[in-house]
Amino acid sequence: MAIEIIGTGRAVPPKKVSNDDLAALIDTSDEWIRSHTGIGNRHIADESVACSDLAVEAAKNALAMAGGYTGNDPDQRDKAAEQAAAAIDVIILATATADFFGTPSTACVVQSKIGALNAMAMDITAGCTGFVYGLETASGLLSVNPLRKRALVIGSEILSKMTNWDDRGTCVLFGDGAGAVIIEKTLDNRESGLLYSLLRADGSGNESLVMRRGGSRNPYKKGEVVDTGICIEMNGQEVYNFAVKAITDTLETLMKTKIEGLGDISIERIARIIPHQANARIVQAAAKRLRIPIEKFYLNIEEYANTSSATIPIALDELNRSGQLNKGDLILTVGFGGGLTYGGNIIII
Ligand code: UT7
């Protein structure tokens, strides 16, 4: 049995906000943001757009590709996506910025909008590691049940609505976006597709990256004057140190993993590493510690900033649609984020 990726898609809001645009509104500068994070821009959704809206667009692009259509005609894309959606058995949507608090899941909203009438649908909360977790969860759900064949895995975020725009330490870091993949279970015994996932958590760091208000721990109370919405609070230094160790440890472990028929996962054997991108300096520090050339890492943080669970699937789709993924390529993903969570996937294209 193999779990193959047969379609990828992404959706990013058209509105691009540069560092200079932010510097006109808050006390920051292009120089500070670039030198401390590698971020140049972020895409921000309009007020009317919710997590499911971006997720649906990314999903339709991935579904259309799975159905054989990769062109730009919206009607043809929708037609191909509609047909492919009927064959989806599982929808897993990773997000920290769901349409609704608690229920319904954003995955269910997406299921209805794309017409995946035969699919189960659920969200997972694993911060920026959400897509890495989601891929393994979906793969497991396909593997255990002979009747399930195809899954849609999405990472989608509207972080701009959960950002405290008065906190320059966090608001410059995040952007909105969504990425999606379709995976299919094949009965061939091939060494390809999703081969292995490493999933880890260190819940002792749960307060380092937190949306403190609104949950059952700290609900808004009747009559309370709400001066800020639910927003991300982060202990940047703590998360930074965790992140460098998480990337380094994850990649080291993945590279030591023995998979029958694959041989050693040497640096030369790896075609690309797709890291979660919260800060280019985190990736550079891990690359240096592991003595992996930085060129192996696919970085697009300059354009999108940190899009949490969407970062890895957006990058995967960019590589795929620009013809940079070849049959047989070995790809490692590596994620880290709120929870705290971390992990990675080994994928052969
Ligand atoms: O995806 C989820 C996981 N998230 C992460 O992995 C994020 C991890 N953390 C980081 O990437 C970094 O810690 C940050 C980018 C958040 C912060 O970088 P830093 O180099 O650790 O900066 P800092 O917080 O130590 O702040 C240094 C200085 C401070 O000024 P003083 O106190 O030294 O005068 C800050 O007030 O930089 C100041 N500062 C800013 N200045 C201009 C903080 N934010 C800004 C800003 N513009 N936006």
**pTM reported for the whole predicted model:** 0.97
Question: Residues 6 or more apart from 179 whose CB is under 8 A from it?
Answer: 8, 9, 10, 58, 131, 154, 155, 156, 310, 311, 312, 313, 314, 315, 316, 317
Residue 213 is classified by DSSP as S
Mean pLDDT for the chain?
96
| Beta carbon of 19 within 6 Å of any ligand 1 atom | no
Which pLDDT belongs to residue 227? 78
Residue 181 exposure: Cα atoms within 13 Å on the Cβ side? 31
Which pLDDT belongs to residue 189? 72
For 281, the token pair is: 């300096």
SS3 198: strand
Out of 68-72, 124-128, 222-226, 249-253, which region has the weakest mean confidence (pLDDT)?
222-226
For residues 285-313, average pLDDT: 97
Short-list 195, 179, 135, CA closest to 43: 179
Which pLDDT belongs to residue 205? 97
Q: Which of 276, 279, 320, 345 is catalytic?
A: 276
Short-list 213, 250, 248, 240, CA closest to 306: 240
For residues 58-77, average pLDDT: 97
For residues 72-84, average pLDDT: 97
For 273, the token pair is: 């590493």
For residues 76-89, average pLDDT: 98
Question: Residues 6 or more apart from 295 whose CB is under 8 A from it?
Answer: none
| Beta carbon of 36 within 6 Å of any ligand 1 atom | yes
Q: Residue 170 Cα, ligand 1 centroid: separation in angstroms?
A: 8
Query: With 80 as the cut, is the pLDDT of residue 93 above it?
Result: yes
Q: What is the DSSP secondary-structure string of 42-105?
A: EE---TT--HHHHHHHHHHHHHHHHTT--SS-HHHHHHHHHHHHTT--EEEEE-SS-SSSSSS-
Distance of alpha carbon 151 from alpha carbon 85, whole angstroms: 10
Q: Residue 235 Cα, ligand 1 centroid: separation in angstroms?
A: 9
**Residue that the structure tokens 């195809």 belong to:** 150
Question: How do residues 266-281 score in pLDDT, each as one tens digit?
Answer: 999 999 999 999 999 9
Question: How do residues 210-233 score in pLDDT, each as one tens digit?
Answer: 999 989 999 989 999 887 788 999
Which pLDDT belongs to residue 242? 97
* Confidence band, pLDDT 50/70/90 cuts, at residue 95: very high
User: Helices 51-66 and 106-114: crossing angle, nearest 10°?
Assistant: 50
Backbone torsion region of residue 68, taken as left when φ is above 0, otherwise alpha when ψ lies between -120 and 50, otherwise beta = left
| Beta carbon of 306 within 6 Å of any ligand 1 atom | yes
| Beta carbon of 68 within 6 Å of any ligand 1 atom | no
| Beta carbon of 243 within 6 Å of any ligand 1 atom | yes
* Confidence band, pLDDT 50/70/90 cuts, at residue 69: very high
Which pLDDT belongs to residue 262? 85
% residues pLDDT > 90 (the chain)? 92
- Residue 118 falls in the annotated catalytic set: no
Which pLDDT belongs to residue 319? 98
Which pLDDT belongs to residue 267? 95
Question: How do residues 131-163 score in pLDDT, each as one tens digit?
Answer: 999 999 999 999 999 999 999 999 999 999 999
Q: Which of 19, 61, 108, 128 is catalytic?
A: 128
Residue 331 is classified by DSSP as E
Q: How many residues does the chain have?
A: 349
SS3 170: helix
Residue 306 is classified by DSSP as B
- Residue 171 falls in the annotated catalytic set: no
Which of 207, 240, 244 has most ligand 1 atoms within 8 Å of CB, for mutation? Answer: 240
Q: Which atom of ligand 1 lies closest to the CA of 240? A: 8
- Residue 128 falls in the annotated catalytic set: yes
Q: Residue 169 Cα, ligand 1 centroid: separation in angstroms?
A: 5
* Confidence band, pLDDT 50/70/90 cuts, at residue 124: very high
Residue nearest to atom 18 of ligand 1 (CA): 36
Q: Which atom of ligand 1 lies closest to the CA of 239? A: 8
Backbone angles phi, psi at 249, to 5 degrees: -60, -40
Helices (H), 86-167: 106-114, 130-144
